[in-house]
Amino acid sequence: MPAADREQVRAYAPGRVNLIGDHTDYTGGWVLPMAIDRGTTVELRRGGSSVELTSASEPEEFRAPLGLSREEAASTAGWGRYVAGVMAVLRPSAGGTGTVSSDLPIGAGLSSSSSLTVAAALALGFGGSALDLARLGQQAETLGSGVPGGIMDQLCSAAGVAGHALLIDCTNLTVDPVPLPPEAEVLVAHCGRPRTLVGSPYAERRAACEAAAGQIGPLRDASLADAESLADRVLRRRARHVVTENTRVLAAAEALGAADLAAVGSLMSASHASLRDDFEVSTPELDALVMQLEAVRGVFGARLTGAGFGGCVVALAEPGTLARIDPASLPGPIWLVHPSPGARVEGAG
């Protein structure tokens, strides 16, 4: 079709911050993330037999023909590998030319890659449910990055609800919005150490959880006594984190629904300790930042958010707390984030 007749699409997908429930999604447990008011926009003039995208923040361009195989997607380099993953899984009927822009910090644990994947799928014509969009995004991202991630990030980006966190059951894939009370402020602070899950021990942690489940059954159904019965010291600690974290997520969702922010905050602090001591995915920078934020008046609790190994800390605080923090005293930027709607196509025609 002549370029002038091509359909113009603008797709947007938010990033997410996880309030509590890390390293529980890939064993079918519970998580409590919220989509945030930062995300990725893909603008595409649809048509033609290839996808050509430039990025507002990255120098390299992405260009690939329709019909890209899974193997070709898996060997694509740079940010374009997420778009390549989408193309190989979605197999869109038309390509397009356009731009990608994002106001999410990259590699900070706020799901910049999932928001790109989900926005690219919408721009390339995906038209199903939020859950199907998340499933497609998860497959595409695993293909593009080689990291066997769970479904939390894509499902939160696809199904976000304004003003609400999402209690996600990662076995049944149900999403229950939990209102964030007006007395709560959510802060996200970067610890100064960037992270990437590619080449990180993420896959090793996932394999350890699978090994533990092989001995005591699905970790979602396991009791603390089951976890403690594991003979291997490392597997025991990994399983103990997952079992106790699942309990904390359910308790936090209930406490948040009841606007008991002090209770949510102490569950967040306990979650950080478990991720640090039992799951061993924290870093000295993350630990120091959690302690620093927890010492600020008005902060109910703080923890690393996402996979760990660097990136961001999330804090639950009373409104106005950000103004009491001197940004110069922090190792990286700090953002006030708001629970936001999920991915959408913003304009076509």
The residues annotated as belonging to the active site are 153
Q: 């990725």: which residue's tokens?
A: 40
Q: Please identify which residue in 84, 152, 249, 316 interacts with ligand GLA, judged by CB under 6 A.
A: 152
Query: CA 266, CA 261: separation in Å to the nearest integer?
Result: 9
Give the torsion sign (CA, 221, 277, 261, 167).
negative
Query: CA 161, CA 179: separation in Å to the nearest integer?
Result: 9
Find the part of the chain contacting ligand GLA (CB under 6 A) among 150-158, 237-245, 258-266, 289-297.
150-158
Q: Does 23 bind ligand GLA (CB under 6 A)?
A: yes
10 touches 43 (CB < 8 A): yes
Minimum distance from residue 148 beta carbon to ligand GLA (Å): 9
Tokens, residue 348: 């076509």
312 touches 191 (CB < 8 A): yes
Q: Does 314 bind ligand GLA (CB under 6 A)?
A: no
Q: Please identify which residue in 42, 307, 313, 314 interacts with ligand GLA, judged by CB under 6 A.
A: 307
**What's the burial of 1, exposed, middle or buried (CB within 10 Å: 0-12/13-18/19+)?**
exposed
Measured distance between the N- and C-terminal CA atoms of the chain, rounded to whole angstroms: 15
**Smaller CB separation from ligand GLA, 97 or 269:** 269
Find the part of the chain contacting ligand GLA (CB under 6 A) among 18-26, 64-72, 75-83, 126-134.
18-26
Q: Does 293 bind ligand GLA (CB under 6 A)?
A: no
Minimum distance from residue 335 beta carbon to ligand GLA (Å): 18
Q: Does 43 bind ligand GLA (CB under 6 A)?
A: no
Minimum distance from residue 25 beta carbon to ligand GLA (Å): 5
**Smaller CB separation from ligand GLA, 14 or 149:** 149
Find the part of the chain contacting ligand GLA (CB under 6 A) among 17-25, 128-136, 161-169, 322-330.
17-25
Find the part of the chain contacting ligand GLA (CB under 6 A) among 145-153, 156-164, 290-298, 325-333.
145-153
Q: Please identify which residue in 22, 43, 245, 285 interacts with ligand GLA, judged by CB under 6 A.
A: 22
- CA-to-CA dists, residue 72 to 24, 118, 141, angstroms: 31, 20, 14
Q: Does 306 bind ligand GLA (CB under 6 A)?
A: yes
Helix, strand, coil shares of the chain, percent, nearest 5, are 40, 25, 35
Alpha carbon of residue 287 to chain centroid:
20
Three-class SS state of 45: strand
Minimum distance from residue 26 beta carbon to ligand GLA (Å): 5
Three-class SS state of 216: helix
Q: Does 245 bind ligand GLA (CB under 6 A)?
A: no
Q: Does 150 bind ligand GLA (CB under 6 A)?
A: yes
Query: CA 146, CA 70: separation in Å to the nearest integer?
Result: 12
Minimum distance from residue 264 beta carbon to ligand GLA (Å): 18
Residues of this chain that bind ligand GLA (CB under 6 A) = 22-23, 25-26, 149-150, 152-153, 306-307
